[in-house]
Amino acid sequence: MDSLDIAVLRRAIDWLEAGRRVALVTVVATWGSAPRPVGALLALDEDGQPCGSVSGGCVEDDLATRLRARFPSTCEVVKYGVTAEDARRFGLPCGGTLQLVVEPLAGVETLRPALAALERGELLARRVQLADGATSFQPATPEDSPTFDGKVLTQIFGPRWRLLLIGAGQISFYLASMAQALDYRVLVCDPRAEYVREWTVAGAELLPGMPDDVVRAIVPDRRTAIVALTHDPRLDDMALMEALKTDAFYVGALGSATTTARRRERLALLDVTPEELARLRGPVGLPIGSRTPPEIAIAILAELTALRHGIELAPVRPRSAITAASGVAAS
């Protein structure tokens, strides 16, 4: 499952190679409640065919109408929702305002290096001079962010977060696929040959070696999440012991509450301090009643997303199966 940026760039390049005129629209600033973040992309061909999103839908329709009426020859800056009337007209949230750069693309080479970097899992900065549309590329770091000063637009492409999965089983299959759509660079470690042979997720990098050695080798930072999924203490525990000593923003392990309690007891007997042990998240993922591997993957990514945005969710009190099915609120 590709990231949104990959999908937009691929479609734009396809259109350009087919001889169509294409505009790339980028969110460069927002005020108030905005539906899409700075850096969000939308590609439009000369007929107004869209790929991507910069709002909830109505802005895209207006942009398509503009392009069909007059395709721009130079970069333009467009604002939506400046007035309350505009906000109502275009369906923006109350008080929301978007500033966009509409860039007519000169050819595939204005995008191809960015797409190649995304496909390799590398970070790249793309700079656009609004005066003449000239583009340039250079390596970026996870700390870089999109910028716009009125003259130069800087876009950042590539994964700024890493996700290390311990285990190449079925849950990892779905988790690795979904995580790439959320712009994670996915790393997978599993020393069990029978699991490695069955691994088929394109874009997820298989790392050889024992999990604890791999954790040390990748030098986890505050943009790294580590999730143990093997159910084998010989693999999970050693990886967790090393991961809890790093700067990883998330360290978690699959298992029930009972399994998690036993895991904590084992780790406490190893070289893990109480402070480090307190960082361990388990059972891993938000308690949404997930049972199947795809549901578990969704629960884990939901928790990661919340933490990335600085949100600590309150514990969820599950309703009974009968209550949930009937739609009656639990008392």
**47 with 127, same domain?**
yes
> Above 60 in pLDDT, residue 94?
no
CB neighbour burial string for 76-102, b if at least 16 within 10 angstroms, e if fewer:
eebebbeeeeebeebbbeeebbbbbbb
What is the model's pLDDT at position 246?
Answer: 96
What is the model's pLDDT at position 1?
Answer: 58
End-of-domain residue from the set 140, 157, 174? 157
Q: Under DSSP, is residue 108 helix (H, G, I), strand (E, B) or coil? A: helix
pTM, entire model = 0.78
**8 with 151, same domain?**
yes
Task: Transcribe 223-243 into DSSP letters.
Answer: TEEEEE-S--HHHHHHHHHHH
* Any domain includes 263: yes
What is the model's pLDDT at position 93?
Answer: 54
* Any domain includes 319: no
What is the model's pLDDT at position 250?
Answer: 96
With a CB cutoff of 8 Å and minimum separation 6, the contacts of 141 are: 123
**120 with 191, same domain?**
no
Which residues share a beta bridge with 187? 164, 205
* Any domain includes 60: yes
**73 with 43, same domain?**
yes
> Above 50 in pLDDT, residue 176?
yes
**61 with 176, same domain?**
no
* Any domain includes 329: no
Interval 195-209 mean pLDDT: 94
Report d(CA 320, CA 315) in Å as an integer: 16
**207 with 290, same domain?**
yes
* Any domain includes 292: yes
End-of-domain residue from the set 126, 157, 188? 157
**104 with 60, same domain?**
yes
Q: Under DSSP, is residue 195 helix (H, G, I), strand (E, B) or coil? A: helix
* Any domain includes 82: yes
What is the model's pLDDT at position 86?
Answer: 63
What is the model's pLDDT at position 188?
Answer: 98
pLDDT, averaged across the chain: 89
> Above 90 in pLDDT, residue 122?
no
What CATH number does residue 185 fall under?
3.40.50.720
* Any domain includes 317: no
> Above 90 in pLDDT, residue 168?
yes
Interval 146-175 mean pLDDT: 95
What is the model's pLDDT at position 167?
Answer: 96
**Range from 158-167, 246-255, 307-316 carrying the lowest mean pLDDT:** 307-316
**201 with 262, same domain?**
yes
Which residue range forms the structural domain that includes residue 203? 161-308
**49 with 141, same domain?**
yes
> Above 70 in pLDDT, residue 144?
yes
> Above 90 in pLDDT, residue 106?
yes
Report d(CA 160, CA 141) in Å as an integer: 8
Domain count across the chain: 2
In tens, the pLDDT along 14-65 reads 999 999 999 999 999 988 766 788 999 999 999 999 999 998 677 899 999 9
Cis peptide bond prior to 142, omega within 30° of 0:
no
**52 with 167, same domain?**
no
**149 with 236, same domain?**
no
> Above 80 in pLDDT, residue 319?
no
Interval 302-322 mean pLDDT: 72
Percent of the chain with pLDDT over 90: 73
Amino acid at 99: Q
* Any domain includes 330: no
Give me Rg for the CA atoms of the chain.
23
**110 with 208, same domain?**
no
- Please give the order of strands across the beta sheet that includes 205-207: 205-207, 184-189, 161-166, 224-228, 250-253, 280-281
